[in-house]
Structure 1
Amino acid sequence: MLKKTLVALALGGALMGAGQAMAADYAIDKQGQHAFVNFKISHLGYSWLYGTFKDFDGSFSFDAAKPQDSKVNVTLNTTSVDTNHAERDKHLRSDDFLNVGEHPTATFASTAVKSTGDGTADITGDLTLNGVTKPVVIAAKFIGEGKDPWGGYRAGFEGSTMLKLKDFDIQKDLGPASQEVELIISVEGVRK
């Protein structure tokens, strides 16, 4: 009798689990330096200036069978901006640009994910930067997922979006070639 009860409980649990979504939650692997929030902007129309934000944290939920159910949340420390030039970084932290004294963090919270093809999706969300919240769309690409050598499970993505500086109350005019900045994001998450 006990054996039949255990089999019935196991079968019932399996059937209940089959109806549930298989989404998994991931923490962005910033400790292992497997995640980046980079940017590039034209310098006078003659070259590209590249930079990164060295301090950010976040998480995402992902199910390859139901990408539309995915969610992304990221918090970024704007004081961590780094363009490999101390004086420029100091200027970028000023109220001409990121105004880190009043707005030391930027955040992104997804509101929708729409599949656009095999392994690609548009992630729409609210970006708060320099005290201004605007909807943005990140064109994302699934890189891969699987077990890691340390007994964990990982998933990785890359994406990009263009931001108009004036949309986020960045009023410093850098000339006609420098009105937009491209954000380039690469994240690897470790399943929780």
Structure 2
Amino acid sequence: MTNTNWTIDPTHSTIEFSVKHMMIAKVKGSFNKFSANISADPTDLTTAEIDFTVDVASIDTRNADRDNHLRSADFFHVENNPTLTFKSTKIVKTDDDEYDVTGNVTLNGMTKEETFAITFEGQGKDPWGNEKAGFSGKGKVKRSDYGLTYNAALETGGVLIGDQITLTLDIEAAKEA
């Protein structure tokens, strides 16, 4: 099969994250606005080309004060850096329907190579005859690698916010006509 173009279905897709809070719990959230240009054969992602863009201002941790702080210059500084982008550079098949997708992540004006584990979840037609494909993924990034270093020391030792961010993706994409 050859690569075809796919469009993310935003109503059936999510980008979520979690980070340690006070070294004892996790805070979770999501980005609600994102898009991608995907050229792929879903049954063999090794030749895929993936360009992903996330609207960082769409961050949602279910707490307006925290979300506004995350949008501020202490963290994402969305006025100067409104997007997080990912552009694939290498995709390696690791098992049946499992891939390591490596690419350049740009956030807060800094670019670093990152690798995410991606699973092809399947493909089929919806009730209206549209071809759909599903993918899930997970990866970890260090926020300090992107200059996101705001923190506070805890009285008991340690820090308020962990450095490692776990990202989880669930994507449903529609084949373009």
For the criterion TM > 0.5, the same-fold answer is yes
Deviations 1:102-136 (A, max 9, x none): 10111111111100001100000111111111111
Structure 2 unaligned runs (5+)? 153-158
Q: Partner residue of 2:174? A: 190
Q: CA deviation at 1:71?
A: 1.7
* Distance (whole Å) between structure 2 residues aligned to residue 39 and residue 47 of structure 1: 14
Matched, 1:80 2:58: yes
Q: Partner residue of 1:92? A: 70
Greater fraction of residues in helix: 1
| Contact 2:34–2:52 (8 Å) recurs in 1 | yes
* Distance (whole Å) between structure 1 residues aligned to residue 17 and residue 104 of structure 2: 18
Larger Rg belongs to: 1
Q: Partner residue of 1:22? A: 2
2:165 to 152, 169, 181: 181
Q: Partner residue of 2:155? A: none
* Distance (whole Å) between structure 1 residues aligned to residue 43 and residue 23 of structure 2: 43
Greater fraction of residues in strand: 2
Instruction: Report the more deviating stretch, 173-182 or 73-82.
Output: 173-182
* Distance (whole Å) between structure 2 residues aligned to residue 190 and residue 64 of structure 1: 11
* Distance (whole Å) between structure 1 residues aligned to residue 167 and residue 49 of structure 2: 19
Q: CA deviation at 1:179?
A: 1.1
Kindly report the root-mean-square deviation, in angstroms, between the aligned alpha carbons of the 2 structures.
Answer: 1.4
TM-score normalised over the length of structure 2: 0.91
| Contact 2:9–2:174 (8 Å) recurs in 1 | yes
1:51 to 17, 20, 29: 29
Deviations 1:42-83 (A, max 9, x none): 111221100000111113222245321012111111111000
Structure 1 unaligned runs (5+)? 1-20
Relative to structure 1, is the Cα distance of residues 149 and 163 closer, same or farther in structure 2, using a 3 angstrom cutoff? same
Identity percentage of aligned residues: 34
Deviations 1:142-175 (A, max 9, x none): 1110111111000110111111111001011252
Matched, 1:66 2:44: yes
Q: CA deviation at 1:98?
A: 0.8
What does 1:161-180 correspond to in 2, within 5 Å?
161-173=139-151, 175=159, 178-180=162-164
TM-score normalised over the length of structure 1: 0.84
* Distance (whole Å) between structure 2 residues aligned to residue 65 and residue 181 of structure 1: 29
* Distance (whole Å) between structure 2 residues aligned to residue 65 and residue 52 of structure 1: 28
What amino acid sits opposite 1:40 in the alignment? Answer: S
| Contact 2:34–2:53 (8 Å) recurs in 1 | yes
| Contact 1:79–1:100 (8 Å) recurs in 2 | yes
| Contact 1:114–1:123 (8 Å) recurs in 2 | yes
2:116 to 129, 138, 142: 138
